[in-house]
Amino acid sequence: METMQLGNEVNTTIYTDASLELVGELLGGRRAVLIVDAEVYPRFKERLPKTLVYSVTPGEHSKSMRQAAEVYRWLQNNGIDRDTVLVGIGGGVITDLTGFVAATYLRGVSLILVPTTLLAQVDASIGGKNAVNLDGFKNIIGTIYQPEAIVCDYSVLASLPIEEIRGGVAEMIKHCMISDREQFDYFAAHAEEILSLRREALQTIIPWSIRIKKEFIEADVFDRSIRRTLNFGHTWGHAVEAVTGLHHGYAVAIGMCFATRLAVHKGLCSPDVLNALEGLLTRFGLPTGTKTLPWVIFEAMKRDKKRSAGNIHFILPRSIGKTEIVDIALDELKAFIKEG
């Protein structure tokens, strides 16, 4: 169990290695509505409180203003007031959507998150950021709003497709790269156990990964400086995702390799770091590059929101476990791509 206090008066308790039945206990007789992934809910229905349910069609397209508005209307039609707890059950799409709705409906109602993907357990549900997409731009409307509890039941991960497991692992490898050499080595030594979701392995890596994300957030709740480190692999990765449609985690894996190559090129880290990262990603069946032309990705990246006045923030590794935020001029990046 982890707790975090992140500035908006709510103390979030993160229950790791918990069971779904805990949700009912945490509600303790309060009125609740479940906002669920329509594919996921039927699997776990019996273990969840019997109450009103709003089912959301899975997929990124459900993270929209239109979908949020539909949920608001449904809440209103069902007479949901400020004393009701919204419980979001699903992957990052559902935790983001439910977080956004809970933050804005009646100016804020209580929220519990039940992340059901590896990515949502170690990343999307942690930190209070929520968002919906608008006109093809990802995550541009949202708030920072903390849930009162996050319930991580590892057993629900068993039905995840392998791609979703690998995608979650990519974000955890990111956590290793930005903070912890020892954990990097643990991943290298336990790849099989992790991919097959062996419980002892999950008991090690999930709470650890949550703690790393939590530490970066606590150091910078409003995302002005050090929290950006969590974007390692994402500057290039988001563009790869936009252009290729690859799974987010796969795109982040490619983005981490790109940033590390750039760091080697700038003399910030040794080629050994790149070799170790590529080796680890490969072990988990994650990609280290893409066949798409780098110029196409470059153009997509320029359109991304993180650009500021001709420079792009990159998180570049110095070694495994240590990174630096570096402003790279677009011209420098162009030259690097041309050479490579």
Ligand X SMILES: NC(=O)c1ccc[n+]([C@@H]2O[C@H](COP(=O)([O-])OP(=O)(O)OC[C@H]3O[C@@H](n4cnc5c(N)ncnc54)[C@H](O)[C@@H]3O)[C@@H](O)[C@H]2O)c1
Residues lying near ligand X in the complex (CB under 6 A) are found at 37, 39-40, 58, 60, 63, 90-94, 96, 116-117, 119-120, 123-124, 127, 129-130, 139, 156-157, 159-160, 164, 167, 248
Residue type, 281: L
**Which CB, 42 or 289, lies closer to ligand X?**
42
**Alpha-carbon span 225 to 221, nearest angstrom:** 9
User: Shortest approach of ligand X to residue 61 CB, angstroms?
Assistant: 10
**Alpha-carbon span 197 to 187, nearest angstrom:** 13
User: Shortest approach of ligand X to residue 296 CB, angstroms?
Assistant: 22
Residue type, 65: M
**Which CB, 116 or 146, lies closer to ligand X?**
116
**Which CB, 172 or 333, lies closer to ligand X?**
172
Instruction: Tell me how far apart the 2 most distant CA atoms of the chain are, in Å.
Output: 63
**Which CB, 164 or 180, lies closer to ligand X?**
164
What is the CB neighbour count within 10 angstroms for residue 327?
12
| Residue with the shortest CB distance to ligand X | 92
Please, what is the angle between helix 162-179 and helix 181-189, to 10°?
Answer: 150
User: Shortest approach of ligand X to residue 36 CB, angstroms?
Assistant: 10
Integer distance in angstroms from the first to the last C-alpha of the chain? 46
**Alpha-carbon span 291 to 159, nearest angstrom:** 31
Q: What are phi and psi of 284, to 5 degrees?
A: -95, 10
User: Shortest approach of ligand X to residue 140 CB, angstroms?
Assistant: 11
- Using an 8 Å Cβ cutoff, are 58 and 93 in contact? yes
User: Shortest approach of ligand X to residue 109 CB, angstroms?
Assistant: 18
* Both structure tokens of 211: 């703690």
User: Shortest approach of ligand X to residue 34 CB, angstroms?
Assistant: 14
**Which CB, 168 or 294, lies closer to ligand X?**
168
Residue 228, classed as helix, strand or coil, is helix
**Which CB, 29 or 136, lies closer to ligand X?**
136
**Which CB, 167 or 233, lies closer to ligand X?**
167
- Please work out, in degrees rounded to the nearest 5, the angle formed at the alpha carbon of residue 119 by the alpha carbons of 80 and 210: 90
* Both structure tokens of 278: 């590529």
User: Shortest approach of ligand X to residue 189 CB, angstroms?
Assistant: 26
